Copies of this chain bind each other. A is one copy, B any other.
């Protein structure tokens, strides 16, 4: 009976002609270079300011596709649900997932649901997989950063991390801090229309900007220097980080991207980003440098330079 409820609920919410066939696989015609990705979502709590696990799962996967320059098209969703999980919460999650799908202009075409006994899972886990189409000529990869490239960040850092942490710890701030959880496909589309020299795109989720930049530096064999003063940061997020002893550079973001762009095109790309609501607060935050070994540096407000290390371990477990 639970299975039937779940199926009818999801099928009604994600309604589309491909899903409706209810065969073992969804089928559709496609041609070109495809992008394919998967992500598990275990965020706790599953409702948080600015979003929930459904919105997060949808946008997380769509954004991973967009980070290869792909147009996101199709999503498959796997739900692992603890017995006794409130039907009303499941409905809210499915609805917010479908709302995010509509925003991102993708269809949820396949799914699976498993219910496990009480205590065998903590509420709900959602694993989403996505499929997108990379436009001809686009070749964006974490290993393509070149010395001289300009580093652009699409908006403020740390919003998602602080939003989830504050709800988890039952904290209240004077200003509500909301997750930035949002699909980035349209922003990427505008960037790629403005320049064919966007070399790297990455969404700084788990481990934040620190992890994303260290991964890129390692893949590309370069150093990256960012300027602390230029980093977009909401004052209330900065204040919360001070109270909680957190570094905004290591906090998860779920609606932001960092890009490495040829210096000649950086101005054009930045201007294109600012035409999108997702890139309104975009800023140049640093440059790529030649290096003997991969490194990330932060130029502090005081003018000194410190190494920004790969965050070790899981600083904030179950943040996404």
| A40→B141 contact, CB < 8 A | no
Neighbour of A317 across the interface among B76, B116, B314, CB < 8 A:
B116
Q: Which residues of B sit under 8 angstroms from A74, Cβ to Cβ?
A: 36
- Which residues of A135-172 have CB atoms within 8 Å of chain B's CB atoms? 141-143
Chain B residues with CB under 8 A of A129: 38, 76, 78, 110, 129
Tell me whether A187 is interfacial, beta carbon within 8 Å: no
Query: Which of A19-27, A232-240, A297-305 is near enough to bind chain B?
Result: A19-27
The answer to whether A86 has its CB under 8 Å from any CB of chain B is no
**Does B116 contact A39, Cβ atoms closer than 8 Å?**
no
Contact A28 B39 (CB under 8 A): no
Q: How far is the CA of A70 from the CA of B27 in the complex (A)?
A: 9
Which residues on the B side are within 8 Å of A31 (C-beta)?
A: 30-32
Least CB separation from A144: chain B residue: B23
On chain B, the residues within 8 Å of A28 by CB distance are 33-34, 36
Query: Per-residue 0/1 for A102-127: is the Cβ within 8 Å of any B Cβ (1 yes, 0 no)?
Result: 00000001111111110111100101
**B76–A36 touching, CB < 8 Å:** yes
Would you call A230 an interface residue if the criterion is a C-beta within 8 Å of the partner chain's C-beta atoms?
Answer: no
**A179–chain B nearest beta-carbon distance, Å:** 18
Residue A209 at the chain B interface, CB threshold 8 Å: no
- Those of A73-98 within 8 Å (CB) of chain B: 74, 76-80
User: How far apart are A162's CB and chain B's nearest CB, in angstroms?
Assistant: 20
Checking B36, B40, B109, B112 against A131 with a beta-carbon cut-off of 8 angstroms, the contacting residue is B36
A67 at the interface (CB under 8 A from B): yes
Is A193 interfacial (CB 8 A cutoff)? no
Size bracket of the A interface: 35 or more
CB distance from A78 to the nearest CB of B (A): 4
Contact for A121 among B122, B219, B313, CB less than 8 A: B122
Contact of A78 among B40, B113, B215 (CB under 8 A): B40
- Chain B residues with CB below 8 A from A27, complex form: 33-36, 68, 70, 134
Interface string of A38-67 (1 = CB under 8 A from B): 111110100000000000000000011101
14 contacting pairs across A/B (C-beta < 8 A): A21-B141, A24-B64, A24-B67, A24-B202, A26-B37, A27-B33, A37-B76, A38-B78, A38-B110, A38-B112, A40-B79, A42-B116, A80-B127, A115-B317
Given contacts A24-B142, A25-B130, 17 further A-B contacts (CB under 8 A): A26-B37, A27-B34, A27-B134, A30-B30, A31-B31, A38-B112, A38-B127, A39-B78, A40-B79, A40-B114, A80-B80, A110-B129, A114-B318, A117-B318, A120-B121, A121-B122, A127-B127
